[in-house]
Amino acid sequence: MPSETKQNDRGDARAAAVRDRATWIRRKALTMIRAAGQGHPGGDMSSADILATLYFDVLRYDATQPNDPARDRFVMSKGHCTGALYAALAGAGYFPEAELETYLQPRSRLNGHPNRTYLPGVETNTGPLGHGLPVAVGIAVAGQIDKAGYRVFALTGDGELQEGSMWEAAMFAGHRGLGNLTAIVDRNGLQQGAPTERTNALEPLADKWRAFGWEVVEIDGHDHGELLDTLSAPATPRSKPLCVIASTIKGRGISFMENQASWHHGVPSEAQFAQAMAELGSVA
């Protein structure tokens, strides 16, 4: 039986590895946005730690067999944050890292919104908000019917939760007792143009999910240890779907972007790009 110290060291090593991959995702996403002249850096930065945790530790998949029936499924419901998603997919081996240089270019497979017809590793097309979680619920229902062992994860934006389709899906998932489903809310508190609570208040958000029959965990969405502990927890014998409300910072890691709704979309100038890359640091 490993000692508690050795177990903690192993956990620290996992968290450090995920942290490095998150930094890599942020740097890649920002480089892609700068080169393309468009993108959604605020949400890319807030979601990078979540994506790094999933793709480089938690998800069970074989990038050489993207349609493996036993794979875990991940749905990027906030489909506009493709800079971070594509970086994670390339880092996971779904396609060559060099292809990231084609982001948003004519005939590139790396569209502004993910398209499963073009790109391996994309489970479903997402773009108009409110679509991803409903599809993830359908995938989880199929797994429940087939008694399959795969898990389903969906990453949603908090502004996206103002869509009625999200709550229809949440209600049905609770009714079905989809223990194989985890919804992660990137709770950065901002949407295009304004705070979520000023646009259409979501609080008390945790109570809403519980009322729809979900287990709810609230965590720091930039704490890699918390992310690993929460997202690695086994789905069985869970009898309810799990909602992870991850408190995040829009534009995380870049001082002039942090907590600024104006960086929901936008492109840094040459000077801003240099500052941002310096602040993000390098991968150890």
DSSP string, 28-87: HHHHHHHHHT---HHHHHHHHHHHHHIIIII----TTSTT-TTS-EEEESSTT-HHHHHH
pLDDT band at residue 3 under the 50/70/90 scheme: very low
Are the beta carbons of 113 and 126 closer than 8 angstroms? Answer: yes
* CATH of the domain spanning 4-280: 3.40.50.970
Q: Which residues contact 278 (CB under 8 A, 6 or more apart)?
A: none
At 7 the pLDDT is 41
- What's the mean pLDDT in 140-149? 97
pLDDT band at residue 188 under the 50/70/90 scheme: very high
Q: Which residues contact 59 (CB under 8 A, 6 or more apart)?
A: 71, 72, 74, 153
Are the beta carbons of 34 and 273 closer than 8 angstroms? Answer: yes
| Model confidence pLDDT, tens digit, residues 76-92 | 999 999 999 999 999 99
Read off φ and ψ for residue 194, nearest 5 degrees: -170, 165
- What's the mean pLDDT in 89-110? 98
Structure token digits, residue 104: 């948003």
At 2 the pLDDT is 43
Structure token digits, residue 135: 């599809």
Domain boundaries, the chain: 4-280
CA dist., res. 65 & res. 60, Å (int): 12
| Model confidence pLDDT, tens digit, residues 191-219 | 998 999 999 999 999 999 999 999 999 99
Q: What's the whole-model pTM score?
A: 0.95
At 8 the pLDDT is 52
- What's the mean pLDDT in 129-133? 96
At 128 the pLDDT is 85
What SS3 state is found at 232?
Answer: coil
| Model confidence pLDDT, tens digit, residues 37-73 | 999 999 999 999 999 999 999 999 999 999 999 999 9
| Model confidence pLDDT, tens digit, residues 10-28 | 579 999 999 999 999 999 9
Structure token digits, residue 99: 């292809």
Q: Which residues contact 74 (CB under 8 A, 6 or more apart)?
A: 54, 55, 59, 123, 152, 153, 154, 155
